[in-house]
Structure formats: structure tokens, C-alpha cells
Amino acid sequence: PSDRDSPVKAKWQRRVAGTPDQEALVELGVQLEPSRSAWLEEIENLLASDDLVGDFSKAHLLPTVEGKDPGLKYISPGTLAAVLTGHFSSFIERSIVVDCRYPYEYEGGHIKGAVNLPLQRDVEEFLLEQPIVSPDSSKRVIIILHCEFSVERGPNMCKFLRERDRSCHVYPQLHYPELYVLKGGYREFFFQFPSHCEPRDYRPMEHPAFREELRKFRGRSR
């Protein structure tokens, strides 16, 4: 941040440059030296606007769609189906679908091959204790997260994974630079591609037969 002539700093100035007063405010922000985390977030947002993955090494492979959280990358059910059927196999070493729903939802129907990681500690144990690395540097490891609707649990887990991954490295290095959220979640995917689900069914989170399980997992998630 102290390097006034860095590419990121210059890019930021170009984006916000306007009236002399506005430019003065930008310079004032530099002089005030905001916290390191704030700077890193600003830099990451600027670079992500060019559709680069989390370590800024390359562009995202999968086509993205607009989602609720502009800070995350969303893919459509159709794109996930294309990944599952090998349309991107030339570029992907391994794609991991993380189902963030509760176990009773997962057992009632899930995307084939998806791993059920409903709690933050599950994600840390599965993905960060022994990170999954591609033996071929030209191929990618991508993570696709979802919940029932991909409105709360899936996006929140995506943010948690990126935060914990960042804490393991010198910025901007990451184990998993390419994270996606499945737009519409399992519900939308199931209705569009039931043949990719097993069992071929959909059990909602608020199913009346699983109220006690819901209560327990909500408590454990806090």
C-alpha cells in the first residue's frame, strides 16, 4: 500500500479519479493508511473485477452468472452439469462439489460425487488439513459449494474457506484460488438435472419429519 506507483494503486486511482475533490479524498485515504486487511480486501476486489481467480494467477475457467453476493463467483446448474460430464476435463484435475446442507438433507438426495461438509470444522478437516493439489500444474482444482438454495449456508461457507485459506499463506497465495457457488442450490439443480442426483429426490431443510435434526444442526452451526 505504501508503493504509490504500484500497478494496483495506479489502477485504483484511474477507477475513482474524477473531480479534484474526489482525487484529494483518494490521496487522503492513502495518507491515513487503513488497516492491512482493508487494503487487502480493496486490492482483491479490484483484481477480481477482471475475473481473476483468488491468487490472481489466471482467469476463472467456468462461465459465471450474476448472484446475490457480488464478491462471490456463481455458476449455473447447466455449467455444473457440464463439469460433471467432463466438458472441462482438459483443464480440470479435480472438481469437488461441497454440499453444505445438513446430513438428513444430503441423505434425502444429493449431487452424485458431492461431499457433505455442513460445518466449518468439516471444511477445514477435508480441504485444509491435507490440501488437494494437482500433480499437473497446467490443470486446476476447483471447488463448487452449494446448499439448498445457495442463499446462506453455501455462500457463507465459501467465504469461510477463502478466509481460512488466506490465513495459511503469504498473500495472495492460496490452496484453492478457484471457488464457485452453485446458483439456485440443490433445489434448482435437482429440478433441472435429476439424473445427476442420488437418490433421485429432494428433501428440504424444513421437512416436518426432521425438525429435531434441524434444531440440533442449527445449534451446532453457531
| Between residues 207 and 217, the one the model is more confident about | 207
CATH topology of domain 66-220: Oxidized Rhodanese; domain 1 (3.40.250)
pLDDT digits (tens, 9 = 90+) for 158-184: 999 999 999 999 999 999 999 999 999
Give residues with Cβ within 8 angstroms of 191, minimum separation 6: 202
**45 band by pLDDT with thresholds 50, 70 and 90:** low
Residue 206 has pLDDT above 80, yes or no: yes
Give residues with Cβ within 8 angstroms of 51, minimum separation 6: 59, 60, 64
Residue 11 has pLDDT above 80, yes or no: no
Residue 75 has pLDDT above 80, yes or no: yes
Predicted TM-score (pTM) of the model is 0.79
**149 band by pLDDT with thresholds 50, 70 and 90:** very high
Residue 70 has pLDDT above 70, yes or no: yes
pLDDT at 28 (0 to 100): 35
β-pair partners for 179: 143
Over residues 108-133, mean pLDDT: 97
Q: φ and ψ at 111, to 5 degrees? A: -70, 135
Give the integer Cα–Cα distance in Å for 174 and 165.
Answer: 6
Over residues 193-222, mean pLDDT: 93
Question: Which residue numbers are catalytic?
Answer: 147
Over residues 138-145, mean pLDDT: 97
What count of residues does the chain have?
222
pLDDT digits (tens, 9 = 90+) for 27-37: 333 343 456 66
Q: φ and ψ at 209, to 5 degrees? A: -80, -10
Residue 62 has pLDDT above 90, yes or no: yes
Q: What is the DSSP letter of 168?
A: T
| Between residues 165 and 222, the one the model is more confident about | 165
